[in-house]
């Protein structure tokens, strides 16, 4: 049961005091491993019989496409972008997340108000202002903060998508060097996340650990946020597609489990992917939302 509490005055016309679902947030900086964990958690929860909604930034019908176009075209100022992201969240809350919570779903959200606050604050918005903007948002049942440091983050980003214009703060930082901007921006962002972690009492998870270790820590913590009666299956050590189970068994018998696990992790997108190589041009930024 989610106790309905808002950060501020809440959504107008909202009357319920409780909702049967659970609102679970995964927070953390760009490239830390949120999507990887959401994929694993969704699979585990669904295997255990829970209905799961996974959602994330720019996935609203109302504002998702507009936000992506605004990012491609660099057409909006920082404050307007902040409000556009708030619109995206408000629409998803009203039309996706709250209906799912009402129907008893576990809602897993890849980022929530905190990333949006952190991004706004490092771009110069006042913390009071951006926090008051999110007065309409529902307080989640749990916030897991995937914490990483810059030396661990850089290779993780380099071996996956490569540096991104927005994730390097190139929309507001001076200078044309994407690596320098990434270092500066992410240093400020990580410091802001740490402040928010204290202020909002995030449950911090050491994201420098392996995928499987982070996953098992999250499983243990999420169990506590779920109904006691819920039967939870033991998730596989690695995420494999159903068709792979026979091959996994065969590899096990032949004593090639480790080798198979590495290959399956790679194939399922959990391993390091090859970098796109070239950093995108400063003007032609990568509009992928993350």
Ligand X SMILES: Nc1ncnc2c1ncn2[C@@H]1O[C@H](COP(=O)(O)OP(=O)(O)OP(=O)(O)O)[C@@H](O)[C@H]1O
Bridge partners of 20, per DSSP, are none
Mode of pairing for the β-strands spanning 106-110 and 203-206: unpaired
Taking residue 213's Cβ as centre, other Cβ atoms within 10 Å add up to: 13
Q: Which stretch binds Mg ion (CB under 5 A): 27-35, 64-72, 80-88, 178-186?
A: 27-35
- Under the criterion CB under 6 A, does residue 211 sit at the interface with ligand X? yes
Angle between helices 78-92 and 113-122 (to 10 degrees): 180
* Residue from the set 55, 60, 109, 160 that interacts with ligand X by CB under 6 A: 160
Nearest approach, Cβ of residue 273 and Mg ion (Å):
12
- Under the criterion CB under 6 A, does residue 214 sit at the interface with ligand X? yes
- Under the criterion CB under 6 A, does residue 273 sit at the interface with ligand X? yes
* Residue from the set 120, 137, 170, 290 that interacts with Mg ion by CB under 5 A: 290
- Under the criterion CB under 5 A, does residue 35 sit at the interface with Mg ion? yes
- Under the criterion CB under 6 A, does residue 190 sit at the interface with ligand X? no
Residue nearest to Mg ion (CB): 35
Give the closest residue to 289 by CA, choosing from 88, 118, 140.
88
DSSP per-residue codes, 42-65: HHHHHHTT--EEEEETT--TTTHH
Q: What does the chain come to in residues?
A: 290
- Under the criterion CB under 6 A, does residue 210 sit at the interface with ligand X? yes
Query: Residue 25 and residue 23: Cα distance in Å, rounded?
Result: 7
Query: Residue 146 and residue 202: Cα distance in Å, rounded?
Result: 10
Interaction mask 108-147, ligand X, x per CB under 6 A: ----------------------------------------
Q: By CB under 5 A, name the binding residues for Mg ion.
A: 35, 290
Q: By CB under 6 A, name the binding residues for ligand X.
A: 30-36, 156, 160-161, 210-211, 214, 270-273, 290
């Amino acid at each position: 049961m989610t106790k309905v509490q808002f950060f501020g005055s809440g959504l107008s016309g909202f009357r319920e005091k409780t909702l049967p679902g659970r609102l679970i947030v995964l927070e953390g900086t760009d490239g830390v491993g949120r999507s990887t964990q959401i994929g694993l958690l969704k699979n585990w929860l669904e295997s255990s019989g829970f209905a799961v909604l996974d959602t994330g930034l720019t996935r609203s019908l109302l504002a998702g496409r507009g936000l992506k176009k605004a990012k491609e075209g660099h057409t909006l100022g920082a404050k307007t972008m902040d409000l556009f992201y708030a619109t995206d969240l408000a629409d998803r809350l009203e039309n996706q997340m709250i209906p799912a919570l009402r129907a008893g779903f576990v809602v897993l959200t890849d980022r929530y108000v905190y990333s949006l606050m952190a991004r706004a604050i490092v771009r110069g918005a006042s913390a009071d202002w951006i926090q008051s903007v999110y007065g309409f948002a529902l307080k989640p049942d749990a916030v897991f903060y995937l914490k990483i440091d810059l030396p661990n983050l850089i290779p993780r980003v380099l071996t996956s998508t490569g540096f991104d214009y927005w994730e390097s703060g190139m929309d507001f930082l001076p200078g044309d060097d994407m690596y320098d901007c990434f270092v500066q921006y992410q240093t400020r962002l990580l410091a802001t996340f740490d402040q928010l972690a204290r202020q909002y009492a995030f449950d911090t998870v050491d994201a420098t650990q392996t995928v499987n270790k982070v996953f098992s820590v999250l499983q243990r913590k999420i169990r506590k946020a779920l109904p006691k009666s819920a039967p939870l299956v033991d998730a596989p050590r690695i995420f494999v597609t159903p068709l792979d189970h026979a091959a996994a068994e065969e590899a096990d018998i032949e004593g090639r489990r480790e080798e198979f696990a590495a290959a399956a992790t790679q194939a399922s997108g959990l391993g390091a992917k090859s970098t796109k190589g070239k950093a995108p041009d400063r003007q032609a930024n990568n509009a992928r939302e993350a």
